[in-house]
């Protein structure tokens, strides 16, 4: 089990790095959109390449960040019933979901999309729009994104099995980007505010807000 947990940590690190830098794709798409608008208004000219590269970047950003979203438990969940269940039942629901739904879906997308990407790469298929871009780079986002999502699903599955076996921490909480030092400082600050409030209450003075 410890070997699988090491693999899980490696997958978590990979998707954390991918998610950290995926935001730059959004920035690039925004910058290109702004430049395209300025050029069109000022010089009365444009190209379909500007439009297509924007949705290329957008497609890459949300597809490759899917694993990062799952890592941080930010994906869409229906918690009306799930939140009322015990922790072990919630974990079992996730195990069934990762095994019976997420894994088959990702494998199906990989099976169907990879040959299409290879065929487009070999043929050099271009956009049908005038001045458009080559097609395979945007299609490549499908196998890459769903590959990362599949790996993260397996990582989450490992963590939940380890939890049920008593060999891993609770996998159901949200992750934090704060370092251990930052968390300690925050805890000390909150404790200082509590102590100050108690002291003020004892002396009858209103505490000053701390920032």
Q: Which of 26, 24, 74, 31 is nearest to 176 (CA)?
A: 74
Confidence of residue 190 (pLDDT cuts 50, 70, 90): low
Q: Which of 131, 12, 4 is nearest to 70 (CA)?
A: 12
79-82: list long-range contacts, CB under 8 Å, 24+ apart.
none
Report pLDDT digits (tens) over 18-38.
988 888 888 888 888 888 888
pLDDT higher than 70, residue 102: yes
Q: Which of 136, 14, 113 is nearest to 66 (CA)?
A: 14
Contact 150, 106 (CB under 8 A): yes
pLDDT higher than 60, residue 178: no
Tokens at 67, concatenated:
């694993």
- For the chain, the straight-line distance linking the first and the last C-alpha, in angstroms and rounded, comes to 44
Domain spans, the chain: 2-177, 178-211
Which pLDDT score is estimated for 146?
Answer: 94
């Amino acid at each position: 089990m410890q070997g699988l947990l090491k693999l899980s940590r490696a997958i978590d690190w990979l998707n954390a790095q991918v998610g950290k830098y995926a935001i730059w794709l959004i920035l690039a798409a925004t910058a290109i959109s702004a430049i395209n608008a300025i050029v069109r208004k000022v010089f009365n000219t444009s190209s379909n390449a500007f439009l297509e590269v924007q949705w290329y970047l957008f497609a890459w950003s949300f597809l490759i960040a899917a694993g990062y979203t799952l890592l941080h438990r930010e994906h869409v969940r229906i918690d009306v019933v799930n939140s009322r269940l015990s922790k072990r039942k919630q974990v079992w629901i996730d195990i069934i979901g990762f095994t019976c739904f997420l894994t088959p879906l990702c494998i199906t997308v990989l099976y169907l999309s990879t040959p299409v990407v290879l065929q487009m790469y070999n043929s050099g298929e271009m956009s049908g729009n005038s001045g458009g871009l080559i097609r395979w780079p945007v299609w490549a986002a499908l196998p890459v994104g769903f590959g990362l999502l599949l790996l993260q699903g397996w990582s989450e599955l490992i963590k939940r099995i380890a939890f049920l076996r008593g060999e891993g921490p609770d996998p159901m909480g949200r992750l934090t980007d704060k370092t251990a030092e930052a968390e300690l400082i925050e805890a000390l600050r909150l404790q200082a505010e509590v102590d100050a409030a108690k002291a003020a209450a004892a002396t009858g003075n209103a505490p000053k807000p701390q920032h």
